[in-house]
Structure 1
Amino acid sequence: MRKFKIPNMGALLAFEAAARHESFTHAAKELFLTESAISRQIATLESNLGVRLFVRAKQRVVLTRAGRIYGTQVRRSLEQLDRDTLSIIAHGSGGGYLELAVLPTFASQWLIPRIGDFYACAPDVRVNMGVRTDAFSFAESHFEAAIHYGKPTWPGTTADYLFGEEVVPVCKASLLERPIGHVHELLAYPLLHSTTRPDDWTRWFASLGVEDASTMHGMRYELHTMAISAAAAGLGVALVPKFLVSGQLEQFGLIVPFEASIKADSAYYLVYPTELSHGKPLEKFREWLLKQASEYTADDDCKPARS
């Protein structure tokens, strides 16, 4: 049983809007209330909490430190309530929403171009996507599943294998002084790195028998799409997942300077807390995603090798 009274929703909505704008006037306009009504709600909230949330300075209000912290917490709680409400409304129609954490480049280049097919197969389910590049605690987030690149070692979860990844070097043709005859010749050009996979170049060269400290040198980019853009701008040679550029080299204005497609140790997985594995939106999305991944790898295996 609760030992304190939770502030009413009207007071929380008034406070969140006022905190976001740091203005009672703007909060009143947003909520279609009078400024005095906003002021009364916040005064009551401060009295109940026993904490000053705002200080009044001439014609404006400024959040206190406590107010700023509480504003962030209340905003997060209201957003979660919005998501929960939408989810239960959709649940009533037999569908629902799936909160999915994605890798930005994977989502934009592989998942989103295919997601229309999922909506055609499951018109009552919608997928909300947010970016996460590292493992996180599902218990401390609103996400129900994640697309993960790495190893299937996420504690407390089930991981479904999607597909592995081949990486290939790409660059602008005009960057090269002459055709690359041996892999070590690439070291004469700037190497473009991914900050999330800082040792990719070193491992790629090592797999081809080249051990050199200079494989760690070069500019770094957080997203593969950035590295691809940098390569297209003639800034160097990028090592990127093959699926990101397959069939689009001409569109990007890029070439593969040395034909050596290396299979990475890690892979893409659909990861979700084991206890959530039977939720209808997740079940439908999982079934569709595994089918898409299987078709993608089968199609890729059937493509003829490039000479």
Structure 2
Amino acid sequence: MHRLDAPLTHDLPPLLTLRVFEAVARRLSFVRAAEELAVTQSAVSHQIQKLEQHLGVSLFVRRTRSIELTPEGGVYYGKVRRALECIAEGTREIRGSKARITSLKVSLLSSFATHWLVLRLAEFSVANPDIQLQLMPSIELANVGAGAADLAIRYGEGEWPNVRSSLLMRERLSPVCSAEYLARHGPFASAADLRDGPLLMSYAHRHFEWDAWSALNRCDLSRIPKIMLHDYNIVLEAAAAGQGIAMGRHRLVERRLITKTLVEAIPNSTYEGSIGYWLVSPDGPLDQSAGRFADWIQKAGAAHVLASSGDGIDEQI
């Protein structure tokens, strides 16, 4: 009998050869085993030859279009299979003895993270303690599904190539400023009264929200002075400090409007259209963690729309 504390080095073949042998013996095919293990057929053949040399016996009878186990190979396969099953069972037990934490990377604009998502994150974390959410603020659209991010939340009209976009919430837009600024420069009866500006804008390839709002209100903003700032968080701070007029994204500035740190600059000029917040995901099915986050944020967005609609009826999402 072998002592339990005796070294196994002499009797054990290279462990990789055993994994390859088990796959070939189970499938009775070098080709299908290679596909399962994601290696070449020649690599599989090399590992089997290496194992046979170590054992000093042939494990397979190789025919023109098929293979089969030799008597020695059949006996050895039974023992190797049981040993690998024992290792797999032990691995499952250890994995199951502690909570598995899955990391989920979500790319998004810092303004959406600051003024909307962080107010609701505790709810998601309590319901999903096994998901470690990593928020990745970025102006650029991350390459979702390719390692940069698992999901993204973006602001716009949902027209991004090579991804799947699902609308979370439509935005309501109107120019906002501080009460002090309005008292000093207003009142503004119409969009034409904004001619002195300045308009506070964040850097972007296209200022689609200002374009959509000005088209609705039939005004030309091209000659109005503008101040370009890095992102929407800075735009809001500048507006609250009385430095000009910002485009108010109502989903993000609701609390500021309630506390009147910001006020609407022009009455009855709100734009409600195709602009909103979108969940961006790669083509194809989501994994479990991404799917749970997607379901949660869709429901959170719908609840916000319903709560802010007054009578419970708002735009469809």
TM-score (norm 2): 0.61
Q: How does 1:167-246 map to 2 (within 5 A)?
A: 167-175=173-181, 176-196=184-204, 197-215=206-224, 217-246=225-254
Equivalent position amino acid for 1:97 in 2: S
Q: Distance in 2 between matches of 1:94 and 1:236?
A: 49
Change (3 A) 1:151 1:93: same
Cα distance per residue 1:63-107 (max 9 Å; x no partner)? xxxxxxxxxxxxxxxxxxxxxxxxxx8997355121111111001
2:139 paired residue number: 133
Gap regions ≥5 residues in structure 2? 1-94, 313-317
Cα distance per residue 1:14-48 (max 9 Å; x no partner)? xxxxxxxxxxxxxxxxxxxxxxxxxxxxxxxxxxx
Count of equivalent residues: 215
Equivalent position amino acid for 1:149 in 2: Y
Deviation at 1:219, TM superposition (A): 0.3
Q: Distance in 1 between matches of 2:222 and 2:257?
A: 29
Q: Distance in 1 between matches of 2:273 and 2:175?
A: 13
1:96 paired residue number: 102
1:302 matched to 2:310? The reply is: yes
Q: Distance in 1 between matches of 2:299 and 2:97?
A: 24
Deviation at 1:254, TM superposition (A): 2.3
Equivalent position amino acid for 1:154 in 2: W
**Cα RMSD (Å):** 2.7
Gap regions ≥5 residues in structure 1? 1-88
Equivalent position amino acid for 1:228 in 2: L
Deviation at 1:264, TM superposition (A): 4.4
Cα distance per residue 1:154-209 (max 9 Å; x no partner)? 34433221011111211122223342222211223311112125353343222112
Asked if 2 retains the 8 angstrom alpha-carbon contact of 1:232 and 1:252, the reply is no
1:291 paired residue number: 299
Equivalent position amino acid for 2:140 in 1: D
Equivalent position amino acid for 2:266 in 1: F
Q: Distance in 1 between matches of 2:253 and 2:144?
A: 32
Asked if 1 retains the 8 angstrom alpha-carbon contact of 2:192 and 2:219, the reply is yes
Q: Distance in 1 between matches of 2:198 and 2:292?
A: 45
Could you say what secondary structure the match of 1:170 adopts? strand
Equivalent position amino acid for 2:117 in 1: L
Q: Distance in 2 between matches of 1:295 and 1:137?
A: 29
Q: Distance in 1 between matches of 2:292 and 2:96?
A: 14
Change (3 A) 1:125 1:258: same
Larger Rg, first or second structure (1 or 2): 2
1:54 paired residue number: none
Could you say what secondary structure the match of 1:97 adopts? strand
Equivalent position amino acid for 1:243 in 2: R
Q: Distance in 2 between matches of 1:268 and 1:234?
A: 27
| Higher deviation after alignment, 162-171 or 193-202 | 193-202
Deviation at 1:225, TM superposition (A): 1.5
Change (3 A) 1:212 1:238: closer
Equivalent position amino acid for 1:195 in 2: Y
Change (3 A) 1:251 1:90: farther
Could you say what secondary structure the match of 2:129 adopts? coil
Asked if 2 retains the 8 angstrom alpha-carbon contact of 1:90 and 1:97, the reply is no
Q: Distance in 1 between matches of 2:97 and 2:156?
A: 33
Change (3 A) 1:153 1:233: closer
Q: Which runs of 4+ in 1 moved over 4 A?
A: 89-92
TM-score (norm 1): 0.63
Could you say what secondary structure the match of 1:302 adopts? coil
1:274 matched to 2:283? The reply is: yes
Q: Distance in 2 between matches of 1:241 and 1:303?
A: 21
Q: How does 1:122-161 map to 2 (within 5 A)?
A: 122-138=128-144, 140-161=146-167
Change (3 A) 1:119 1:136: closer
1:262 paired residue number: 271
Q: How does 1:75-86 map to 2 (within 5 A)?
A: none
Q: Distance in 2 between matches of 1:234 and 1:227?
A: 11
Q: Distance in 2 between matches of 1:213 and 1:142?
A: 37
Equivalent position amino acid for 1:119 in 2: S
